[in-house]
Structure 1
Amino acid sequence: MNDLTSARPRSLWRQRDFRLLLGGRLVSQLGDQLQSLALPLLVVALTGSSTQAGIVLGLQTVVYLVFGLVAGALADRWDRKATMLWCETGRGVLTATVPVAAAFGVLGMPQLYAVAVLNGLLSTLFGAANSSALPNIVAKGDLTAALGAVGAMSSTLRIVGASVAGIVYTLGRMVPFAFNAVSFLASAASLWGIRAGFQQERAPTPATPRELLADVGHGLSWLWRKPVIRTLALLDAGDSLRFGTGFLLIIVLAQDLRANPVQLGIVFTGAGAGALLGSLLAPALTRRFPLGALSITMLWVEALVFPFYALAPTWWLLLVVAFAESVVSPVYNVALDSYRLGVTPDAIRGRVTSAIDTLTGGAAAVGTMASGALIALLGAPVLTYVLAGWLAVLALVATLSRTVRTATI
C-alpha cells in the first residue's frame, strides 16, 4: 500500500481549511436542494405546463454534458480559487434576479431559461475546479477520510433536504431562491477564508479555442493510458445508465404498490440513509480492502439486491431494498476517488475528473430519458429484472478483468 492507505488519518475537524470547504459546500448544497423543488413548481405556476418545467431542468443537464470537458480544461488553466469564487458569486447574483424580478412583477420564462443556462455553465465550471482542489486542501493521508466525511454530510443533507424544501416553499415561492442566492454568497465567503492553495504553483494562462481542444485531448489521452481508471470509468458509466433508468422505475413500482407521495419520499429517504451509512464506513473499508475487491463487491451486491424491487410486496419493503442497495456505492466511490485523485497529476486533474463525470453523467441522462419508454414497452417488473441482468453482466466483466481484480489504492 502507499501513503494514501498506510498513513493514519489526522482529525479533519481540527483543520480550519477543510471545515470552511465543507461548510460552504453544504450550505450551497442545501440551497440547491431548496431551489430544485421550487423551480419546476414555479414554472408550472407561471405557465401551467409541466413540459416547460422539464425543459428548464433539462437545460442544466445539457449544459453540463456539452460544456463539461471544456470546463475541466479551463479549471486546469485558471486559478482554481478565483474561478470558484467568481462562479459562486455569479450564481448568487443570477439566482437573486429571480425574486427581484418577481417583486417588480416582471418575472417570465425567458429570464428563467437564461438563469438556468448561465447557472448551468457556472455550476459546471465550479464543479471542475472544486473536485480538483480537495487534494491540495487536505494531506494525502487524509484524502480518504475527507471524501468519506463529504459523502456522509451530503447524504445527511439529502435525507432532510426534501422535507425542508417542501416546508420552505410553503413560506413563499421566492423564499427558496432568496435562500439559494444567499447560500452561494456564503459559500464564496467560506472559500475566501481558506488559506491553503487550491492547486500546485503555476501561472494562470489564457487559451485559444484550439489550445483548449488540445488540452481536452491531452487529458483524454492520459486517461485512456491508465487502464485502472479507464476500465472502472467504463463500468461506472454502465452502472450510471442503470441508475438513471432506475429512478423512475422505483417510483412506478412504489405507485403499483399504492404508495402515497409521503411513503414514496420515505423510500428515497431510506436510500439516503443507506448512502449515509456507506459514507461513514467508507474510510475504514477503503484502508482495509483493495480497490478492485470493493468494485467487484459493489456490482455483485447491486445485481443481487436489485431484483427485490420487483419482488417487494409492500412499499416499506421497497424502503429496505433501497437502503441495502445504497450502502455499497459510497464505499466504492470513496475508494475510487481516493485512487484517482491521488494518481492524477494536479495540472490535468480538472480535465480527467470532468471527462469521467461527463461520461457517467451522460450515461445517467440517457437512462433517465429512456426510462419512461422502457417501462411502457416492458412493464416495470420486467424492466427491473433486465436491469438486474445488466448489473450482473457488469459484475461478471469486473470479476473477469485482471485490471480490476488487481487494482489497489
Structure 2
Amino acid sequence: MTTSLARNRNYTLLWGGQALAEVGFSASLIAFPLLVLAITGSPAASGLVLAVDATAQLLAGLPAGALVDRWDRRRIMLACEAAQALALGSLVLALLGDAASVPHMVAVAAVLGVCRALFEPAEDACLPRLVPDAQLATAVAMNAARSSLGQMSGTALGGALFAVARWAPFLLDLVTHCLAFVALLFLRVPPREPVAVAERHLLREIGDGLRWVWRRREIRVTALCAVVLNLFFTAFYLVVIVLAEARGVSSAAIGVMAAMLGVGGVVGALIAPWLHRVLGPYVSIAAVFWVLTLLTPVAYFVSDGFVMGGLFALMTLLAPTANTTISTHQLLLTPDAMRGRLSGVVSVVLGAAGALGPALGGLLTEFLSADRAVLVCAVGIALVTAFVTISPTLRRYSAEQEGVPNEV
C-alpha cells in the first residue's frame, strides 16, 4: 500500500521548509524596490536590483542544470540556503547600521538569483526519488500550490513589515531560509546510481542537456507553445493594468486584480491532481490555451477592476493542471542523470519569455491604444491555441510514453 504524501517524511520536510522559504522570498522581493527607492529616490535604481536578480537566475540557469546533474543534489540545496541566509544577514546588518548601499543590494540580489537557479533544478531532480511515480503529479501540483501561497502571503507580509522597519522583510527572509536549511539537514534522498564519466566538461554537459530537450519532440513542442503563451499573457497583464488606469480603476482595485491571479493559481493547484487524472494529458494541456483564448478578448469590454480580477482568477485556474501534466511527463521520461539539465533548460526558456513579455506589453501600449493592445495579445494567444489544437504531437501526449528520444 502506497503511503500518502502527508505521511512521506522526506517530501513533507522538503515541502514545509520551502513553503517557509517562499514566504520569505516573496517578502524580500516586494521590499527590494521599496528599499532602493527609499534610499536613493531613483526608480531606475529600484528596477536595477530586480533586473539583476532575474538576470543572474537566467544566466546561471544552464550551467546550474549541468552542475545539479554532476553534484550531490541535497548538498546543493543546503549550500543555496546557507548562501542566501548569509547574503540576507549581511543586508540586515547593513540596514541596522544605516550602511546599506546600492552595490551591496545588487550583490545580494545576484546571490539570490544564482541560488534559485541552482536550487530549483536540484529540487525538481530530487522529487521523483522522494515520491512514487503514481504520486508525482500530486507532488508537482502541491509544489505549485506552495509557490502560489508563498507569493500571496509573502507579498502581503513584505509590504506590512517594510512599513514597520526597512530591515524587517529581509530578516523574515533570513529566518525562513535558516528554517529551510534545518529541514534539509533531516532530508534523506535515496542515493543515485553512479554514472561513469571519463572526463567532465561543463560546456559539453550543457550541450548534452540542450540536445536531449531538442530531440524529445513532445518537450520541444510543449516548451515552444508555453513560451509563446507566456510571452503574450505577461504582455496582456501589463496592458490590462494600463487599460484599467486609463478607465479610472482605483489603485486598490488594481491591487485586487493582481491578487486574484494568485487566488486562481492556488485553487487551480489544489484541484490540479484531480483534473490531471480526469481530463487526460492532451485536454489538460489544451484546456488552458482554450480558456485564455476565450477570456482574453473579454478584457476589452470590462471596465470594473473587481470583475477583471475575477477574469484573472479564471484565466489562471487551469494553468497548474497543464503544468502538472507537462512536468510529471518530463520528469518520468527523463533519465535521473539528465533531470537537472532538463529543469535548467526549461527554466531559462520560460524565464526569458516571462522577461520579454512585459517589454512587449510596453511596446504595444506605446504604439497602440491599450484596448487595441488587448486585441493584439488575444490574437497571439488564439494563434498558439490553434496550433495546440491541431498538433499531432500534443494529441498523442501521454505520461506513460517510454523515455526513448524521438527523432527530429
Q: TM tier, shorter chain?
A: over 0.9
Where does residue 85 of structure 2 map in the other structure?
A: 92
1:229 aligns with 2:219: yes
Where does residue 42 of structure 1 map in the other structure?
A: 35
Contact kept, 8 Å, 2:22 with 2:151, in 1: the verdict is no
**Shift in Å at residue 157 of structure 1?**
3.1
How far apart are the structure 2 equivalents of 1:282 and 1:182? Answer: 31
* 1:214-225 → structure 2 map (5 Å cutoff): 214-225=204-215
Where does residue 303 of structure 2 map in the other structure?
A: 313
**Shift in Å at residue 81 of structure 1?**
0.3
**Shift in Å at residue 203 of structure 1?**
7.1
Where does residue 402 of structure 2 map in the other structure?
A: none
Where does residue 76 of structure 1 map in the other structure?
A: 69
How far apart are the structure 1 equivalents of 2:265 and 2:111? Answer: 31
- AA paired with 2:104? Q
How far apart are the structure 2 equivalents of 1:269 and 1:177? Answer: 22
* 1:137-176 → structure 2 map (5 Å cutoff): 137-176=130-169
Where does residue 6 of structure 2 map in the other structure?
A: 13
What is the aligned counterpart of 1:258 among 233, 242, 248? 248
Contact kept, 8 Å, 1:77 with 1:205, in 2: the verdict is no
How far apart are the structure 1 equivalents of 2:149 and 2:196? Answer: 36
- Please tell me the root mean square deviation across aligned C-alpha atoms, in Å: 1.8
**Shift in Å at residue 19 of structure 1?**
1.1
Contact kept, 8 Å, 1:257 with 1:315, in 2: the verdict is no
How far apart are the structure 1 equivalents of 2:79 and 2:239? Answer: 39
Contact kept, 8 Å, 2:91 with 2:100, in 1: the verdict is yes
- Cα 1:110–1:229, aligned 2, differ >3 Å: closer, same or farther? same
How far apart are the structure 2 equivalents of 1:27 and 1:253? Answer: 35
Where does residue 276 of structure 2 map in the other structure?
A: 286
Where does residue 5 of structure 1 map in the other structure?
A: none
**Shift in Å at residue 204 of structure 1?**
11
How far apart are the structure 1 equivalents of 2:181 and 2:13? Answer: 10
What is the aligned counterpart of 1:202 among 194, 202, 205? 194
1:132 aligns with 2:122: no
Give ranges in structure 2 of 5+ residues lacking alignment.
Answer: 400-408
The percent of aligned pairs where both chains have the same amino acid is 30
Secondary structure at 2:318 match in 1: helix
How far apart are the structure 2 equivalents of 1:241 and 1:356? Answer: 15
1:111 aligns with 2:104: yes
Contact kept, 8 Å, 1:31 with 1:176, in 2: the verdict is yes
Secondary structure at 2:341 match in 1: helix
How far apart are the structure 1 equivalents of 2:198 and 2:32? Answer: 35
Contact kept, 8 Å, 2:74 with 2:189, in 1: the verdict is no
- AA paired with 1:172? A
What is the aligned counterpart of 1:378 among 363, 368, 371? 368
TM-score (norm 2): 0.94
Secondary structure at 1:45 match in 2: helix
Secondary structure at 2:94 match in 1: helix
- AA paired with 1:312? V
Contact kept, 8 Å, 1:10 with 1:142, in 2: the verdict is no
What is the aligned counterpart of 1:348 among 324, 329, 338? 338
- AA paired with 1:336? I
What is the aligned counterpart of 1:399 among 385, 389, 393? 389
Secondary structure at 2:121 match in 1: helix
**Shift in Å at residue 215 of structure 1?**
0.5
How far apart are the structure 2 equivalents of 1:170 and 1:248? Answer: 26
Contact kept, 8 Å, 1:244 with 1:368, in 2: the verdict is yes
Contact kept, 8 Å, 1:26 with 1:154, in 2: the verdict is yes
How far apart are the structure 2 equivalents of 1:38 and 1:103? Answer: 15
How far apart are the structure 2 equivalents of 1:150 and 1:258? Answer: 37
How far apart are the structure 1 equivalents of 2:238 and 2:383? Answer: 22
- AA paired with 2:88? T
How far apart are the structure 2 equivalents of 1:246 and 1:61? Answer: 20
Secondary structure at 2:194 match in 1: coil
**Shift in Å at residue 13 of structure 1?**
0.9
- Cα 1:9–1:339, aligned 2, differ >3 Å: closer, same or farther? farther
Query: How many equivalent pairs are there?
Result: 399
How far apart are the structure 1 equivalents of 2:335 and 2:184? Answer: 23
**Shift in Å at residue 212 of structure 1?**
0.8
1:58 aligns with 2:51: yes
- Cα 1:207–1:127, aligned 2, differ >3 Å: closer, same or farther? farther
How far apart are the structure 2 equivalents of 1:318 and 1:207? Answer: 56
Deviations 1:310-335 (A, max 9, x none): 21121111012111111111111111
- AA paired with 1:294? S
Give ranges in structure 1 of 5+ residues lacking alignment.
Answer: 1-7
